[in-house]
Amino acid sequence: MIRLAQPQLGDEEIKAVTDVIRSGIIASGPQVRRFEETFAAYVGVRHAIATSNGTVALHAALLAAGVGPGDRVVTTPFTFVATANAILYCGAVPVFSDIDPDTYNLSPHALAETLARLKDAGTPAKAVLLVHLFGLPCDMTSIMAVASEHGAIVIEDCAQAHGAAYNGRRVGTFGTVGTFSFYATKNLTTGEGGMVVTDSDEVAQRVRQLVNHGRIDRYEHALLGYNYRMTDLAAAMGLAQLAKLEQFNLKRRANAVRLSRQLADVPGLVLPVEPQGCYHVYHQYTVRHPERDELARWLRENGIETGVIYPIPLHKQPLYRELGYGDQSLPVAEEVARQVLSLPVHPGLTEQDINTVAETVRAFVSGRLPSA
Ligand SMILES: *Cc1c(COP(=O)(O)O)cnc(C)c1O
């Protein structure tokens, strides 16, 4: 079976974690500090604060950026549910804005309309929580301009985009604050883990307090915080992974180029794009096809695992229907959710694996041509 995702762990990670076990310091300690400093330098920000996963990184980031009860936060309906749930954790109100059909990221045009509508309704948006989906940066020039025009801060969910860049700047450096996930399937993994990044000393200090029980001194607590800390075990693995991230991303990109070259002329198949100025890190290589479910079944029967990421836009999820979002129409997200299919692209795949994926996709389509 050619798997859709596979953590790339080797002797370096084993040694790093073993050294931590031998050191006797297994909770948050020197490895977490080192991982934070190295990750901040890699992204190009002043501060990075490690967390126990990407979801709580989002929660702490939103709180630290000042998102509170009743605040409107505009986000994408085409993302993992954690993105919008983090807004709910703050008592704030997610407002979904439709996506671009080519990039699957927030559409700047739709965003401008959504922000204008909120302003007219007397409930201007506090923040835009964008997602660099599948490893492709959002159109940051347009989004930063539109958000600033409407007085909304920008928060970046970079959970799928470690090392992705826009006009030479890494994602996570554009907004007030950004977050990463190190879940097992992500481009860089610590099993579970996350990171908050920011250039603001004030936001960084608030995040540090929020992730550690609101602590200002050993047993002095200034605010209602949480235990969202990372362990040294995870941080040691993260440091070993970070040293390999560039190679991982280059391999993902090479795999994506190989797939796109072989799939370019397949009728009915829409391939991922990399707009000018974007450095895509292909967390997912996502295609669209009108017979998506049949294609997925064909690939599975032929030993290739795929993923429908995501089958249900957030406003149509049972939880969000229950909250009253179900009647909203976001046609692009809804159409895309019916057609997307993610093909294997991870760095553990060989050239032969990639050729097999491409050939099997081609065989599905040619089997359906009358002359084939
Ligand atoms: C993975 C992911 C998260 C959540 O991260 P966890 O570490 O799994 O909690 C949030 N947003 C997006 C877009 C993700 O892909």
CA distance 188 to 9: 10
Longest dimension (CA), the chain: 76
Query: From ligand 1's centre to the CA of 17, what distance in Å?
Result: 23
Which of 56, 73, 157 should be mutated for ligand 1, with most atoms under 8 A from CB? 157
- Give the DSSP per-residue string, 261-279: HHHTT-TTPBPP---TTEE
Query: From ligand 1's centre to the CA of 218, what distance in Å?
Result: 31
Residue 369 pLDDT: 54
Residue 368 pLDDT: 62
Which residue type occupies 300? R
Query: From ligand 1's centre to the CA of 344, what distance in Å?
Result: 19
Task: Give the number of the atom of ligand 1 that is nearest the alpha carbon of residue 58.
Answer: 10
On the 0-12 / 13-18 / 19+ scale of CB atoms within 10 A, 254 is: middle
Residue 230 pLDDT: 98
Residue 268 pLDDT: 94
Instruction: Provide CB contacts within 8 A for 275, sequence distance 6+.
Output: 102, 103, 139
Look up the CATH architecture of domain 245-366.
Alpha-Beta Complex (3.90)
CB-based pocket (< 6 A), ligand 1:
53-55, 79-80, 82-83, 131, 157, 159-160, 181, 183, 194
Closest CA to 270 of 174, 223, 336: 336
- Give the DSSP per-residue string, 173-196: SSSSEEEEE-BTTSSS--BS-EEE
CATH class for the region spanning 11-97+104-242: alpha beta
Task: Give the number of the atom of ligand 1 that is nearest the alpha carbon of residue 283.
Answer: 15
Ligand 1, atom 14: closest residue by C-alpha: 159
Residue 218 pLDDT: 86
Residue 309 pLDDT: 98
Q: Yes or no: say if 14 and 214 are a contact pair by the CB < 8 Å rule.
A: no
Query: How many CA atoms, within 13 angstroms, populate the side-chain half-sphere of residue 246?
Result: 5
Residue 33 pLDDT: 98
Blockwise average pLDDT, block size 10, the chain, 372 residues: 97 98 96 98 98 98 98 98 98 98 98 98 98 98 98 98 98 98 98 98 98 92 96 98 98 98 96 98 98 98 98 98 97 98 98 98 80 42
Residues in the chain: 372
For the chain, how big is the Rg over CA atoms in Å?
21
Query: From ligand 1's centre to the CA of 186, what distance in Å?
Result: 9
pTM: 0.98
Q: Where are the domains of the chain?
A: 11-97+104-242, 245-366
